[in-house]
Chains A and B, each alone.
Chain A
Amino acid sequence: MSVETEAGQEARLDLIGRVPVTVQVVLGSVKMPIADLARIAAGSSLLLDQQLTDPVTVLVNGHRVALGELYVMEGEEGQLAVKITDVFRPRDLI
């Protein structure tokens, strides 16, 4: 069994660290009868159960990893941002 050198380990962690993952933010949800789902078309409106100020969920590769608050960044672009409030530990995910 070969012993990994410290430099080799760093290189490996660096490689893993640069692996791209998919991040997606869940704003909220709503439950409805499937009959109502069938009526949804362009122009319909859905009202989510959540308030604008309610926590949003951060998914990484489809897994819940954190909760946060939604913000709009200052500046011309005005991108959205999530201020992390809670990070799920493995036991939270069970």
Chain B
Amino acid sequence: MMHTGLFADLPPAARLSSALLASRMADRAPQGDAIKPMMEALGVKIAGVLAGLNPAPAQVTLASLGIVTIDFGRRQSETLRLVSARGTLRLRLAAGRDLDSLLCEAAFGGTGQMMHGDPALSEEHPPSHIEQRLRAHVFDAVAEALAQLLRQAGVEDLTCSASRDEARIKGRSPASEAYVARFLVTLFALSAEFEVQAERDVLRDLLGVGADHEDVAPAHAQLGLPGLAPCAVELAARLPRELMDFQRVAALKPGDLLELSARPDAVVEVVSGDRPVFRARLVPRSEGRLQLDIEGAA
């Protein structure tokens, strides 16, 4: 049961750290960045949603865990879109067993003991899909809260997409850093990590912050025909071109070592088709993926 009144009337125990946002991009964000207070307000809303799940006023403690840059390729199942003429914002809540337990405790007014040691609630014997329904409920509430905050910030044409078409939204957005607001929610004896992801560039576009000139439209809005925006292009990263004798490459066979003059920190050429579009540096990521840090146009 949802107590919507608690959205505006949080229990005193709901607290939010002021140091909500920090990322490796933070030093590039303008001081007056409107994203930070908006995400802080979203944190308060989340506390309200969690508190509102419980018939009795619950002790909800909310602390920020900071912001990290995320790989959108790891996007998981529950994602919802907020669509505006200025961009599409994607949200995802962390959904795990800890959060499920916490939500069940919140909904049924437990003491933090119910989910522990009960064989009926083990992975092999799931009691029901109540956790999924609760998660969906919280997810919708948080998405609506963010939409409401964005509207208050002046984003008038924002709509929640009813569709959760994963095929359409699963794609990574490699061009965009992400703000990931991570909260540690403690309720009764349980804690769970709660995460809201939002693409940094889209947020900034939506809020109209960070532009050098206020009358300059976001880059993707200057493309012209709006229907072309989803058209996909393929970018390839190539090491610098090298000249070699034909006989050297003609004799190549498996096992041969083709020595290059480029070093690992070489400037990489990013091409679309055969046309160079960017210069970049290669950055190996901890999980083994290759990342390119763009230095500028080719």
Contact = CB atoms under 8 A, between A and B. Distances in A.
Contacts of A82: 257-258, 260
Most chain A Cβ neighbours within 10 Å, of B237, B255, B280, B294: B237
A22 to B, nearest CB: 5
Contact of B257 (A25, A27, A59, A83): A83
Interface of A: 16-48, 50-53, 58-60, 62, 65-66, 68, 71-73, 77-87
Contacts of B260: 23, 25, 79-82
Nearest to A59: B238
Contacts of A26: 236-238
Nearest to A19: B246
Interface stretch (B44-52, B55-63, B136-144, B281-289): B281-289
Given A33-B232, A38-B220, A28 B290 contact: yes
A31 B232 CA distance: 6
Given A32-B173, A45-B292, A38 B222 contact: yes
B258 A68 contact: yes
Interface residues of B, number: 73
B263 A77 contact: yes
Given A80-B263, A87-B253, 9 more contacts: A21-B246, A24-B238, A32-B235, A35-B223, A39-B218, A43-B294, A46-B270, A47-B291, A48-B289
Contacts, number: 219
B243 A20 contact: yes
B contacts with A: majority SS: mixed
A34 B231 contact: yes
A85 B171 CA distance: 31
13 contacts: A17-B247, A27-B238, A32-B173, A34-B220, A34-B233, A35-B220, A44-B175, A44-B294, A45-B174, A47-B174, A66-B252, A83-B256, A84-B256
B242 A46 contact: no
A43 to B, nearest CB: 7
Contacts of A39: 175-176, 201, 218-220
Interface string B234-278: 111111111111110110111111111111101010101010011
Contacts of A28: 236-237, 290
